Chains A and B, each alone.
Chain A
């Protein structure tokens, strides 16, 4: 029994380690590649130790950008991505909080109907409705704008459901106490529901921020002005857009930089998660 268990746990660890390696190795290669001189990558041998051109490569990517690589300086692209991801994440959370609030706490006509309409949108991600959505955005004159980048992505059935589930666990007495205390619906929402949902909001924020940050197809469609390029699509431009061979060392440096903000968001939000886990009580 004990022997078996040990074997089992060894096996489990082996599989886990293999899995982690499979995920981490490409990232490692990207980091390594971003520290080598221009030609190294094209020689066919992939170096596995850091090179000596790290500072030079990153400086090029950050400050020069287009001149050599066929894309705007990464700073602007990072900013665009950030704005888009923020608008998507904040917008999604705001809208789904309000819709969940309406569905759980108000008895209005066709409530169930709206509930199912929201549910249906789960089956219609951007990729499915991309042509009509593009037409709408184009007709509204929102091409090449932050609004065009983010608004079509803002509705979120997932977040609405999450908040609905959470709201339903808040005891009825809490609402009644608030009513006796003179809090109207919006005051109850702001003073009681929002603070209670804070860990859920943090979780949603991380997920939705990364969702917005990683958008590729949509920004590619609605922007053709460099000023609105996001970093993920920018990478693609760098690979295909330049006349010469792709400058892999610079592409990799961009990739590494592009991966940083989501990681920072996770690290930052993690504190909130942990706090939320410790303080689970309603």
Chain B
């Protein structure tokens, strides 16, 4: 159990690559923080800096109330779950779990207790005598989790731990990780590519871009009020539509109430509808380019003339529109996200 405080962290790799440039973040005790961002934005680097696997080239990192910049991973009181599990192939599951504890000099009886407890929690008690090669991917994943659990660390660090599992197992493990984390109340840092994983797991979500923090907040905050164009495009699936103010003005569709400096308007695909909503709304006309049924919902891609990028509309069920038909779209005014394209920031 511990607070983690990052103060202006920097990482410059020996080759001169600046992977992390000035990240400050205060993680409360017991909080689950999810790091997301495009590939190469420095998520893994940041996590590995916390783990002690990469040197910190600038700033300070505190775990609990100790500055740990110079400490070896084993002395930082953290546990890490690796993407490829990194289980020791020649050791049984039991020994995989026990290895770290033995190195710490934990008494035998205590090791036994912790391993059995973790195995029980993760339902791997039946496999304790097997070697990792005799386990399925999902079971290996659990063993990797178990290795972290038995340490009873101040913080868990996860680097895309579920990315090697199939979709169904992913969902299941995601739920289990969340339950476990809540139950143990251990501070956690979780890196993922997966939007849904990020939104569902996080107490707070951190969106990274090019080694810097774009925005920090609860998943719903980020979803409802993305602070930058980048976050707006990154969080939410299908991605938010972006429409030029110039285009709206030409059509006379520009809402008058938008704050000054707004030259880009974002609308979530969910907020667009084919029928007029109760309140004031912005109205757009376009041609259906493609209708994409996706089970409970459908995605309609509508091309507005002059706007190269078709905009996406998400509607429940299967709407009665045909491809090529002209449709009218309505967007409630309060659902619009005004941005300034030069600064990339939100304007309201």
Contact = CB atoms under 8 A, between A and B. Distances in A.
A161 B53 CA distance: 27
B74 A179 contact: yes
Interface stretch (A26-34, A150-158, A190-198): A190-198
A219 to B, nearest CB: 38
A174 B86 contact: yes
A181 B78 contact: no
Contacts of A171: 84, 86
A182 B74 contact: yes
Contacts of A177: 80, 82, 86-88, 147
Nearest to B133: A281
B79, B80, B86 — most chain A CB neighbours (10 Å): B86
A192 B86 CA distance: 12
A181 B103 contact: yes
Nearest to B103: A182
A170 to B, nearest CB: 10
Interface in B61-108: 72-74, 78-80, 82-84, 86-90, 99-100, 103-104
Interface in A166-180: 171, 173-174, 176-180
Contacts, number: 59
Contacts of B79: 180
A182 B89 contact: no
A196 B100 contact: no
Interface in B216-264: none
A183 interface: yes
Contact of A191 (B72, B99, B147): B99
Interface string A186-220: 01000110011000000000000000000000000
B88 A179 contact: no
Interface string B100-144: 100110000000000000000000000000000100000000000
B78 A180 contact: yes
Contacts of A6: none
A173 B86 contact: yes
A179 B90 CA distance: 17
A192 B90 CA distance: 8
B6 interface: no
B51 interface: yes
A187 B104 CA distance: 12
B198 to A, nearest CB: 23
B237 to A, nearest CB: 30
Interface residues of B, number: 23
Given A171-B84, A173-B84, A179 B53 contact: yes
Given A180-B80, A181-B74, A174 B88 contact: yes
A225 interface: no
Contacts of B78: 180
A220 to B, nearest CB: 43
A279 interface: yes
Contact of B99 (A176, A181, A279, A282): A181
A191 B82 CA distance: 19
A282 B79 CA distance: 22
Contacts of B82: 173, 176-177
B88 A180 contact: no
Interface in A240-282: 279, 281-282
Contacts of A174: 86, 88
A178 B86 CA distance: 9
Contact of B90 (A173, A182, A183, A196): A196
B158 to A, nearest CB: 13
A282 B86 CA distance: 9
Nearest to B80: A180
A176 B79 CA distance: 11
A6 B90 CA distance: 45
A195 B78 CA distance: 26
Contacts of B84: 171, 173
Contacts of A191: 88, 99
B89 A196 contact: yes
Given A173-B86, A196-B90, A187 B103 contact: yes
Nearest to A183: B103
11 contacts: A171-B86, A174-B86, A176-B80, A177-B147, A182-B74, A182-B103, A183-B74, A187-B103, A191-B88, A279-B133, A282-B89
Interface of B: 51-53, 72-74, 78-80, 82-84, 86-90, 99-100, 103-104, 133, 147
10 pairs of A and B residues whose beta carbons are closest in the complex: A182-B74, A181-B100, A173-B86, A182-B103, A177-B86, A195-B90, A180-B73, A179-B73, A281-B133, A173-B82
Given A178-B88, A183-B74, 4 more contacts: A173-B83, A179-B72, A181-B103, A281-B133
